A and B are shown apart, each in its own frame.
Chain A
Amino acid sequence: GAGVSQSPSNKVTEKGKDVELRCDPISGHTALYWYRQRLGQGLEFLIYFQGNSAPDKSGLPSDRFSAERTGESVSTLTIQRTQQEDSAVYLCASNVDYRIENEQFFGPGTRLTVL
C-alpha cells in the first residue's frame, strides 16, 4: 500500500489482558515511531526504531509496554496487563530516516479501549 497501515483499527479489551498492535510502515522507510494520543491531548512519544540501531525506548511509560520491529518492516507494540489509563489512540509513523526535514507519515491509529 501507499501509506502506513495499522491494525486493528479498534481494540476493546478487559483490564489485565495483553494486547498487540501492528504497524506496517511505508516500504523503504528505515525510521519507525510509535506515539500515543489520549483523548483531547497532544502526541506522546513512545519508541523509535532506526534501521538496525538500538531503539530509543525512552518514551515507554512502564515495563508493561514493549515493541519490536522486524528488520525495516513490520512493528508490533505489546501492552501487557492493560490498565484503564492505557486507553488511547496508538499511532505509528515512519519516514526515510530520522532527519527533521523528513516528514513523518502517520498511520490511521489503533483506538484502544480498556474496560
Chain B
Amino acid sequence: DAKTTQPNSMESNEEEPVHLPCNHSTISGTDYIHWYRQLPSQGPEYVIHGLTSNVNNRMASLAIAEDRKSSTLILHRATLRDAAVYYCILRAPGRGSNYKLTFGKGTLLTVNP
C-alpha cells in the first residue's frame, strides 16, 4: 500500500476549526483516501473517505489536492470529544487482500477547553 505521512501531533482549541494534513505523494490513480480516528480506550471509528472530489459528511470534510498528493481532514468546530488519534490511509480497490486496514502512528489531536 502507498504510504501516508502525518504530523505526530496537533493542538486545537474547542469550537475552532481543525485542519489535519496528510501527504501521500505516491498515491496511485485508483487509491481512495480514508480517514479513521480512535478515541482514547476505544476502537477505531470511520470518519470519511474520498477519491478526487472534496467530500462532506456529518462528522467532517475532506479536502483533496488537485494532484491528489495530499489531503486535509477538516473538523469545522472542534469539541473535546474530537480529541483522538486520526489516521489517514490509502486503500486500493480490486487488488488482493485490500480489505485489510493498516494504520500507522497517525496524528494525536489535543483539544483544549
Contact = CB atoms under 8 A, between A and B. Distances in A.
Interface of A: 4, 31, 33, 35, 41-43, 45, 48, 50, 56, 58-59, 91, 93, 98-101, 103-109
A108 B105 CA distance: 19
Interface of B: 32, 34, 41-46, 49, 87, 91-93, 97-106
A43 B49 contact: no
A105 B44 CA distance: 8
B43 A45 contact: no
B43 A56 contact: no
Contacts of B97: 48, 56, 58
Given A99-B93, A100-B91, A45 B42 contact: no
Contact of A106 (B34, B45, B99): B45
A50 B99 CA distance: 10
Nearest to B105: A42
A106 B44 CA distance: 6
Contact of B98 (A4, A100, A103, A107): A100
Given A42-B102, A56-B97, A108-B43, 9 more contacts: A43-B44, A50-B99, A58-B97, A93-B43, A100-B92, A101-B49, A103-B46, A106-B44, A106-B45
